Amino acid sequence: MQLINPKDQPGSSIDAGAHFTGEVHTYMAMAPTGGVSVNNVSFTPSARTHWHSHERGQVLVVLAGRGLVQSEGEQARTIRGGDTVWAGPGERHWHGASPDSYVVHTAISLGTTDWSGPVDDADYAAPPGD
């Protein structure tokens, strides 16, 4: 039997740097093609993206766990396995794991991504408006 850690898979990385807070494992399922990219992303508890938007929008298909998603000017919302999220073109948002759970989703990003700064810890800790 062989166990391959996500950080050792081709096309995979741990990216706790420029655009994420916490430990995030990404796996590029489809390199950018025709302005579309597809990534499978695993967030450890409390890990999250920075604020960002997508030129033509983004679809998140939540596969497992429990997380949070928030659009600028709105309360965060809880996401769970089976949920699908649509962030429209230019909609500034962030997404990631709940403080007490991992979350795994497939991110289908359309067009270029415009990254902003990290989500404040106080904003992240605010109760979701489910």
Residue 118 belongs to a domain:
no
**CATH number of the CATH domain containing 46:** 2.60.120.10
- Distance between CA atoms of residues 48 and 118, nearest Å: 9
Q: How many domains is the chain partitioned into structurally?
A: 1
**Helix, strand, or coil (residue 124):** helix
Residue 56 belongs to a domain:
yes
Give the model's pLDDT for residue 100. Answer: 97
- Print the domain residue range for 66: 24-113
Question: At residue 124, does pLDDT exceed 70?
Answer: yes
| pLDDT, tens only, 23-48 | 998 888 887 889 999 899 999 999 99
State both tokens at 76: 């965060």
Residue 14 belongs to a domain:
no
- Reported as half-sphere exposure (CB side, CA atoms, 13 A), residue 41 has a value of 28
| pLDDT, tens only, 49-104 | 999 999 999 999 999 999 999 999 999 999 999 999 999 999 999 999 999 999 99
The pTM for the full model equals 0.88
Give the model's pLDDT for residue 70. Answer: 97
- Reported as half-sphere exposure (CB side, CA atoms, 13 A), residue 22 has a value of 23
Per the model's pLDDT, the better-predicted residue between 16 and 60 turns out to be 60
- Reported as half-sphere exposure (CB side, CA atoms, 13 A), residue 44 has a value of 10
